Amino acid sequence: MKTFGVIALATLSVGALAETIHTKVAILGGGVAGISAALNFTLNGMNDFVMVEARDVVGGRAQTAKLGNTTIEIGCNWVQGTGTNPINQLRLKYDLKTAVTSSSDLAYIDEHGKKVNATDRMNEFNDIRGKMQDMGLKRLAANQVDLSSRAALAINGWIPKTPMDNAIESFGYDLETGETAEVGSLEFSSLNGEASYVTDFGPNSGENLMVIDQRGFKYIFEQEAARVFKKGDKRLMLNTKVKSIAYNNKGVTITTDKDTIIADYAITTFSLGVLQHRDVEWVPELPDWKVEGLYGFHMATYTKVFLEFPTKFWDDVEMTLYANPNRSGLYSAWQNMNAPGYFPNKKDNYIFMVTNFQDNAYHVESLTDSQVQAEAMEILKKMYGNDIPEPVGIVVPRWTQDPLFRGSYSNWPIGELDQHHENMVAPLNNRVFFAGEAMSKRYYGFLQGAWFTGASAASNINQCIKKRCPTATYYPKIFNAKAKGVQVKRNVV
């Protein structure tokens, strides 16, 4: 499979020989989608491929860090949907330790630092969210135009008026999509999220399981990758950054910071953020129909801040919502990482974690760790008084600032149409295929989205290899629906 037509490039230093590697398929990116594609080829007896990954490990956005002596998840954390969800199947296969989490085990602290009971208002929000979801599915079935989630929330009766309302909405909506209701699509978000996994993965599959396994969430993906690449397998090209992808109807040439790869086919699994930032050069440029779809979609940012304390001063519930009066959602949704069933209560290693989204996340990511700590402590003192201890550790992942990710996960915004998304996924010349979580219409944002799209790209290529390339759909131009308004002759109702 892999021949080394070795050419020494003049620009390289002595000893660093650039190789030209010939292969049938180049899988670009070693995250969950890349691993799933590699596994699919292997299980189908197709072993002529390489996988190119810029980092020194596989797993992509499944990443851990250490805080004190606890391994924490800085990227994906939940198995979202159980039953036949492939991520759940891997959880079972590798006996991954998880905690059942509940979104109703909550404490509320108002803008004056007073503990209050906002359960009724939270229940009201949850009811309205349910109605909004039904509305989205109905409108989709009737081919009605999309609405923003904000408009849909308002139509169904949710008009936030207090800082606590904002905290409830931020927890009940932004925490899932990574963005605010203003930008989110009603119809496509109704297809995604819980609506998808509750129905798709068999009976009672709507559970969210938080990974607390000290091997890390990444363990299950590393193990699946190890089924494909044995130690020293040269097909796994770690520490190798893709610089450009040249494609035509005969094949693909990939230039990396080390070698040139000449392949019959390629699968890109780079995040939507990476594709949008033009971190990889395309030759020729991506066609307009592809670019329109890619730029219309959103790469959301979800930034966790983990603080480690010598003692525990917060409530023994799973989540505490703070009604931040100054900025909606900022340092608002706090998760007790030592809640019953989570990490054990260990002396000197108590972890309180707060999640920020969109503009709040960009703000947090722009600060140094000590600035984040100072801001978070100011909030915590408003919540619990001045006598709380200083943190002994802090971890702030910065997904948007990382050029290999440029955000956390994708979100379907108002304005992106079904056809735009099909254009995002459509292959180029049946030679370059697109996989990764953002390419999944039903499970964008989720690990299962990455897993399914990787497998599907590999299976399409397998058919192409057998000269039975499946037909792909794309839309050279997308037009607005020309629905006429209902004409009301006399009174407008």
Ligand X SMILES: Cc1cc2nc3c(=O)[nH]c(=O)nc-3n(C[C@H](O)[C@H](O)[C@H](O)COP(=O)(O)OP(=O)(O)OC[C@H]3O[C@@H](n4cnc5c(N)ncnc54)[C@H](O)[C@@H]3O)c2cc1C
* Residues forming the site for ligand X (CB under 6 A): 29-34, 52-55, 60-62, 75-78, 80, 241-242, 269-271, 274, 279-280, 302, 399, 404-405, 408-409, 436-437, 446-447, 449-450
For ligand X, the closer CB: 85 or 328: 85
For ligand X, the closer CB: 147 or 456: 456
User: Looking at the DSSP assignment, which residues form a beta bridge with residue 98?
Assistant: 211
Q: State the Rg of the chain over Cα.
A: 24
What is the signed CA dihedral for 33, 34, 36, 37, rounded to 10 degrees?
110
Question: Least distance to ligand X from the beta carbon of 29, Å?
Answer: 3
User: 344-364 in b/e burial notation, b at 16+ Cβ within 10 A?
Assistant: eeeeebbbbbbbbbbebbeeb
Helix (H) or strand (E) holding 253, with range, is strand 252-256
For ligand X, the closer CB: 59 or 296: 59
Token pair recorded at residue 360: 């709040």
Q: How far apart are CA 453 and CA 14, in angstroms?
A: 41
Which among 134, 130, 103, 338 has a CA at the least distance from the CA of 207?
103
CA distance between the termini of the chain: 70
Q: How far apart are CA 114 and CA 197, in angstroms?
A: 37
Question: Least distance to ligand X from the beta carbon of 364, Å?
Answer: 12
Question: Least distance to ligand X from the beta carbon of 317, Å?
Answer: 20
For ligand X, the closer CB: 246 or 280: 280
For ligand X, the closer CB: 118 or 447: 447
For ligand X, the closer CB: 79 or 383: 79
Is residue 22 within 8 Å of 2, Cβ to Cβ?
yes
Strands (E), 338-401: 350-357, 393-395
- Alpha-carbon torsion (73, 76, 79, 85), positive or negative: negative
- Alpha-carbon torsion (279, 177, 343, 349), positive or negative: positive
Question: Least distance to ligand X from the beta carbon of 115, Å?
Answer: 28
The total number of residues written for the chain in this structure: 493
Question: Least distance to ligand X from the beta carbon of 210, Å?
Answer: 8
97 residue type, one letter: K
For ligand X, the closer CB: 271 or 320: 271
For ligand X, the closer CB: 241 or 382: 241
For ligand X, the closer CB: 55 or 312: 55
Question: Least distance to ligand X from the beta carbon of 488, Å?
Answer: 46
Question: Least distance to ligand X from the beta carbon of 204, Å?
Answer: 18
Q: How far apart are CA 435 and CA 272, in angstroms?
A: 10
Is residue 465 within 8 Å of 301, Cβ to Cβ?
no
Q: Count the helix, strand and coil residues of the chain and give each as a percent rounded to the nearest 5.
A: 30, 20, 45
